[in-house]
């Protein structure tokens, strides 16, 4: 052998005419030395990974099923020292139930060369139970079979999953309880509302009869006995009784109208808005006020709505526009409509006293009055009826107004 060279035997033929002979291929010693260094480095890296891993690792003899090596994390997890683990089977360190279970696992491992348990109880040296994932592989190492087992502690994860499931169960149970409670309360509320509506409707009807009687008798007395047995004071008292009865009758009628808006069915159909508005102007008493001017600009387009509810809206908006004007002013109302991408916007513009911005929301509330009854008659329900009727139709209502500059009330309805 030449110095500094490694010799490897191979078979070859020197020439086609010479007998077989042997040749020696000379391999540099540096190549052999570097290969050994590389192998050593790989072993060191493997050992470092083995010892630093945060999962338990066990190396087993596939013949005896006994542990030949364990990494530090495994000893920490089990509470055994490294020397105590060597030579033991898995069932002896609390990883499998018993020797029979261990034998069954090894048979499956030999058959499939791989086994996995998602949730395996592991009892440590102190008798404490941890939940682990267990993966075992059977592989060849330099022509010799080796078993490697990887054990991951999933106790905290499983506890978190159980806590999450318990929380979900609690939430679902509470949701069911709350739904049952809401259904019960809703049923009770509907029953109460129904009773209140029936009571309101009945009282309103029953109250109107004596009111009409009061008005009628007061009128008869004033017409029959005026200037005879009644003096001016008595006549004034009768006038007050008659006016008070009339105001209360109007209030009851408005309450009935509001109740009707709440209770009635509201099917949505195509409504001829131009015809409906013209009919209301011709028949509504407030529109017949001497000197009042009501102008419809152009032809109002058809809309999708409920005719009864639209009648309530238009009647109340017209009544307010004609009523709330300065003394001595001739009321003028302009009605126009404009098609937009959102629907049909119908505007009622008046030359009235106007409404300050701070009251724009307030005027739509029940029984809200901005001006005293002695100045402008009314019940404070008209615009509440408008708001509720608009809501029932899925429409919108609003206004633009300022003190002394009149008002522009608008309703945004759906196109027909």
User: Residue 168: is its pLDDT beyond 90?
Assistant: yes
Mean pLDDT of the region 66-74: 90
Burial 160-197 (b: 16+ CB within 10 A, else e): eeeeeeeeeeeeeeeeeeeeeeeeeeeeeeeeeeeeee
Do the domain assignments include residue 163? no
Tokens linked to 187: 């049923």
What global pTM score does this model have? 0.48
Domain tally, the chain: 4
CA 402 to each of CA 350, 353, 360: distance values in angstroms, whole numbers, following the listed order: 12, 8, 10
d(CA 145, CA 110): 10
Do the domain assignments include residue 168? no
Q: What is the pLDDT of residues 236-250, one digit of tens each?
A: 788 888 877 777 777
Q: Domain holding 191: CATH number?
A: 1.10.287
Q: State whether 288 and 408 are in the same domain.
A: yes
β-partners of residue 271 are 303
Mean pLDDT of the region 18-42: 56
Q: State whether 7 and 18 are in the same domain.
A: yes
- Identify each DSSP E strand in 332-395 by its residue range: 332-340, 343-350
Q: What are phi and psi of 230, to 5 degrees?
A: -100, 135
Say which residue the tokens 């409404």 belong to. 355
Counting every residue written for the chain, the total comes to 416
Shortest CA distance to 397 belongs to which of 343, 356, 358? 343
Do the domain assignments include residue 362? yes
Do the domain assignments include residue 172? no
pLDDT confidence of residue 36: 63
More confident: 215 or 116: 116
Q: Which of 32, 52, 72 is the last residue in one of the domains?
A: 52
Q: State whether 18 and 100 are in the same domain.
A: no
> Could you tell me the residue range of the domain that residue 255 belongs to?
177-263
Q: State whether 135 and 96 are in the same domain.
A: yes
Q: What is the pLDDT of residues 325-382, one digit of tens each?
A: 888 888 999 999 999 998 999 999 999 999 888 888 888 887 777 766 667 776 778 8
Pairing mode, if any, of strands 67-70 and 114-123?
unpaired
Q: What is the pLDDT of residues 257-316, one digit of tens each?
A: 777 776 767 788 999 999 999 988 888 776 667 778 899 999 999 999 988 889 889 988
Mean pLDDT of the region 18-24: 45
């Amino acid at each position: 052998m030449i110095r500094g060279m490694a010799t490897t035997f191979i078979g070859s033929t020197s020439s086609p005419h010479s007998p077989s002979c042997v040749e020696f291929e000379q391999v540099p010693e540096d190549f052999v030395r570097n290969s050994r260094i590389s192998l050593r480095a790989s072993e060191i890296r493997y050992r470092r990974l083995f010892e630093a891993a945060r999962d338990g690792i066990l190396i087993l003899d596939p013949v005896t099923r006994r542990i030949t090596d364990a990494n530090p994390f495994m000893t920490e997890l089990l509470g055994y020292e490294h020397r105590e683990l060597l030579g033991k089977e898995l069932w002896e360190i609390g990883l499998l139930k018993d020797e029979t279970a261990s034998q069954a696992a090894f048979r499956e491992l030999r058959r499939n060369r791989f086994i996995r348990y998602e949730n395996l109880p592991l009892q440590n040296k102190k008798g404490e139970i941890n939940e682990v994932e267990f993966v075992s592989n059977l592989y060849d190492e330099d022509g010799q079979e080796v078993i490697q087992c990887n054990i991951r502690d999933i106790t905290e994860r499983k506890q978190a999953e159980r806590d999450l499931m318990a929380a979900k169960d609690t939430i679902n149970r509470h949701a069911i309880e709350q739904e049952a409670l809401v259904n019960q309360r809703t049923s009770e509320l509907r029953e109460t509302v129904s009773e209140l509506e029936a009571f309101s409707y009945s009282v309103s009807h029953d109250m109107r009869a004596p009111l009409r009687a009061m008005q009628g008798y007061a009128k008869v007395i004033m017409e029959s006995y005026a200037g005879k047995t009644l003096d001016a004071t008595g006549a004034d008292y009768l006038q007050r009784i008659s006016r008070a009865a009339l105001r209360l009758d109007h209030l009851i009628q408005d309450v009935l109208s509001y109740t009707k808006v709440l209770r009635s069915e509201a099917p949505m159909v195509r409504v001829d808005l131009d015809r409906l508005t013209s009919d209301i102007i011709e028949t509504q008493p407030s529109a017949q006020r001497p000197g009042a001017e009501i102008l419809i600009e152009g032809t109002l387009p058809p809309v999708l709505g409920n005719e009864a509810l639209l009648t309530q809206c238009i009647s109340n908006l017209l009544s307010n526009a004609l009523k709330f004007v300065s003394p001595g002013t001739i009321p003028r109302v302009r009605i126009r409509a404009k098609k937009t991408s959102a629907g049909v916007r119908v505007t009622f513009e008046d030359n009235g006293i106007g409404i300050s911005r701070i009251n724009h929301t307030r005027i739509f509330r029940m029984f809200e009055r901005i001006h005293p009854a002695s100045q402008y008659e009314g019940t404070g329900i008209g615009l509440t009826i408008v708001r509720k009727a608009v809501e029932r139709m899925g429409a919108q209502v609003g206004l633009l107004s300022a003190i002394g500059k009149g008002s522009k009330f608008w309703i945004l309805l759906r196109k027909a």
